[in-house]
Structure 1
C-alpha cells in the first residue's frame, strides 16, 4: 500500500527532479552556443529566438495533451522513460545539424520527447504526496530545472572550452564536429543513464482504479465548469515562466555582448548564479504556497506568483542597466530567486484545482499553454524586440527590461484576480 510523504516518496520526487534537470540541460544548452551558431550560420536574433523557443514548442504543445491522456491511463514511469530516450537522441541530432532548418527540426524533436515528462511526473508526485506537502514536493521537482540550466551553462561551458581548444571533436562514423556541435552530442549522453535509473520507480496504484478512466470530454467539462480559475491561474503562471525562460535563454548572450565574456566564461558566470539562486527561489515558492494554503489564504498560488513578479521589477532594472560586473551578477542572482519562486505555485495550483483522476490531461493542458506562450513566445519576443524596436545587439538589456515590466505587471494582476475563482473551484 502506498504511504504518502514517506522517505521513498521523497526519493521518487528527487529522481523525477533529476529527470527534470536532464530535460533542462538538453533544452538550455542551446543558450550557451547562440553566439557561435549565429556566427557560423549567419542568423539573426529572431532566428536564434526561434531555435531556442518556437522550435521547441511546436510538437511539445501538440503532443502534451495526448501524452497527458496516456498518463491518466498507462504506466507513468514508462512514459517518462520513453520520453527521456527520445529527447536525448534528438539533442544529439542538434549536434549533427549543419543548417538552420536541420537544427530547427532537431529542436522540434527535443520538444516532442520532453512533452512526456511533466504530465506524468505531476501525476506521480500528486499520488505520492499529501495536499499539505504537495507544493514542497513540486518545488523539489521544479528545482531540477534550475540545476539543469546551471549544469548546461557551467559544465557545458567547460566542455565547450575544451572542445574549442581541441578545434572540435571527431565522432566515429560521422566525422569532424565544430565545438558547439560536439557540446550537443555530449549533452545527450546523461539522459540515457537517467532513463535506466527511472526503472527503480514503482508505479503506484491509482486511488480510482475501480472507476472508469476519464475521457477528454470529462476533463474539458471539468475545466469548463471552473474556467475562470483555470484561465486566470494559467495566464498568471505563463507570465512568470515567460520571464524565467527569456532570461534563461538570453543571459549568457547578454554577458557576451555587454561585458565582453567569452561563451565559456558566460556559461560559468550565469550557470553559477543560477545554481546558487534558483533552488532558493523554487524552495521558497513551494514553502510560501504551502504556508499560505495552510492558513486558508484565498488563491495562495496566485498571491505568491504576483508578489514574486512585482519584487522582480526593480531588481531587473538594476541588472539590465548597470555597467558594473559584480553588481550585475548580484542583481541577476536576486532576480533568479524572485522569478523562479513563481514556478512551484504555478504547477501546484493546477494540482490543487484538479481531482486526481483528471490530473494527467489537465497538467498536460496547463503545460501546453505554458510552453506555447512562455517558451514559444518569450525568447523569440526578446529577439524580435532587439531586432525591430532597438535595432542594436547591445540593446538586449533594454529588451529584457521592457519585457519584465510588461509581463510582471500583467502576471501580478492576473494572479490577484485569480484568488476568488481559485478558492471557489478548489476541492476540499
Structure 2
C-alpha cells in the first residue's frame, strides 16, 4: 500500500477535499450517536440486574450465567464488528447504524422469550452482533466533524453514553422491578404467560425499533459533500499494522486490559451488593446506576477537555499519557470499593473510580482516529472492538466467575473483583506508557511510519 511521504500534510479530515461541516451539525451528530449508544448499553447490561431470577427459572449455573453475560455477547460482537467496519468504509454510515440498532433491539426482545440456556445464548448473540455497529460507526464519523485538536472533547461527550447506558440500565431495571416482580408470572391478555424478567426484556427492547430511525437524521459528510474515500481492504490494514506494531500492540493491549476490569465490575457488582451487603434489586439498580453515571458524566468531559488542551499545546502523546496516569490512579480506589463495610461508602467509591478511570472510554480511540487514514477508520475501530468483544466483553464476566468459584463460591465475588482490578489496572497503565514513543514519532511526521 502506497504511503504518503512524511512531509505531505494529510488534510485534517483525512479525506482530500472534504471540509468540516458546521460545528452545530457535528454536535447534533454527537447527540444522536449518544442516544443510540446509551440504548445499546442499556440493552446489553440489563441481564446483569436479573441474574438471580433467571438462574432460578432456567436452572443455570454461575458459569452459564457468565457465558451469557460474556461469551454469547462478546463472540458475536466480534464477528459482527469486522463486516460492519468494511461496510462503514464503503456505504452510507447512517444506514449501517440503523440496521445495527434494529438487529440488537430484536435480540433484546428475544431474551424475553428465552426458555433455556441455548435460546438465551442465541438472543444475546443477536444483541452482540447488532451492537458492534455503534463504536466503529461513531469513531468513523466524528473525526470528519471536528479537527484533531478539538476531537477529544466531543469524543468524550459521546463516550459518556457507554457508562450512562450502564447506569440507566440499572436504574430502569431496578424501577421496573418495583412494578414487575422478576420471579412472578404474568398473564398477557390470556394469550401467554410470562415471567416478570421476560416482560422486562420485552418492555426495554421494543422502543429500539423506533429509535433506530434517528440514525437517518445524521448527515454523512462523505455523502453530503459527494466525496468518496479511497478503497482499502483488511489486507492493507494488516500491512499498516505490521509497520507500526510498536504503537498498535501496546495501545490495543492497554485498552483491552482496562476494559476487562470495567466489564467485570459492571457485570458482577449487582451480585456483589446483593450477596455481600444484602441489598435488594430495587435498591441496587438506582444506587449503582447513579454512582456509575455521575462519575462518568463528570469525569469524561473533564478528561477530554484537559487532553485536548494538552494536545493543542504540542504534547502529541497527551491522550495516552493522560489515560496511563488515570488508570494507575484508579487502582487503590478499586481496592476500597470491596474493603469498606458500609455499602453507601462503597457505592461512593464506585462513583469516584469511574470518575478517575473514565478517560479510557474516549482518549485511546481519539488518538487512534487522529492518526488513522480515513479509508481505514471504520476497519481500525472494528478490529479494536472485535478484540475487546472476544477478550474483554466476552471473557471478563467469565474470568470473574472463574476466580469467584476458585476463591470459594458466590460469596467471594467481591474478593474476585478486587483481585482482578489490582492485577490488571497497573498492567494496563504500563501498556499505554510503552506506546508513547511510537505515537510521538507518528504525530511528528503526521503519517504512519
Q: Is the pair's TM-score, using the shorter chain for normalization, greater than 0.5?
A: yes
Asked whether 1:55 is paired with 2:101, we answer no
Asked whether 1:230 is paired with 2:269, we answer no
Which residue, out of 373, 385, 391, partners 1:373?
A: 391
1:152 matched to which residue of 2?
169
| TM-score of the superposed pair, with normalisation by structure 1 | 0.95
Asked whether 1:244 is paired with 2:273, we answer no
Alpha-carbon distance in 1 for matches of 2:190, 2:132: 30
Deviating more after overlay: 294-303 vs 396-405? 294-303
User: Compared with structure 1, are the counterparts of its residues 169 and 77 closer, same or farther at alpha carbon in structure 2 (3 Å cutoff)?
Assistant: farther
- Aligned to 1:177, the other structure's residue is in SS state strand
User: Compared with structure 1, are the counterparts of its residues 87 and 210 closer, same or farther at alpha carbon in structure 2 (3 Å cutoff)?
Assistant: closer
Asked whether 1:90 is paired with 2:107, we answer yes
Q: CA RMSD in A?
A: 1.9
Which residue, out of 403, 409, 432, partners 1:385?
A: 403
Alpha-carbon distance in 2 for matches of 1:386, 1:232: 29
Alpha-carbon distance in 2 for matches of 1:394, 1:285: 35
CA shift at 1:47, angstroms?
A: 1.8
Aligned pairs (5 A) from 1:140-289: 140-164=157-181, 167-171=184-188, 175-205=192-222, 209=227, 212-289=230-307
Alpha-carbon distance in 2 for matches of 1:54, 1:279: 28
User: Compared with structure 1, are the counterparts of its residues 57 and 165 closer, same or farther at alpha carbon in structure 2 (3 Å cutoff)?
Assistant: closer
Moved over 3 A (4+): 1-5, 165-174, 206-212
Deviating more after overlay: 184-193 vs 173-182? 173-182
Contact 2:253 / 2:428 at 8 angstroms: preserved in 1? yes
Contact 2:153 / 2:301 at 8 angstroms: preserved in 1? yes
Q: C-alpha offsets along residues 150-201 of structure 1, whole Å, 9 cap, x if unaligned?
A: 1111111111221118944444696111111111111112212221222211
Note the residue ranges of structure 1 that are not aligned, 5 or more in a row.
none
- Aligned to 2:341, the other structure's residue is in SS state coil
Contact 1:46 / 1:387 at 8 angstroms: preserved in 2? no
Deviating more after overlay: 15-24 vs 199-208? 199-208
CA shift at 1:299, angstroms?
A: 2.4
Deviating more after overlay: 87-96 vs 199-208? 199-208
CA shift at 1:208, angstroms?
A: 9.5
Alpha-carbon distance in 2 for matches of 1:424, 1:172: 66
2:39 matched to which residue of 1?
22
More helix by share: 1
Contact 2:53 / 2:183 at 8 angstroms: preserved in 1? no
| TM-score of the superposed pair, with normalisation by structure 2 | 0.91
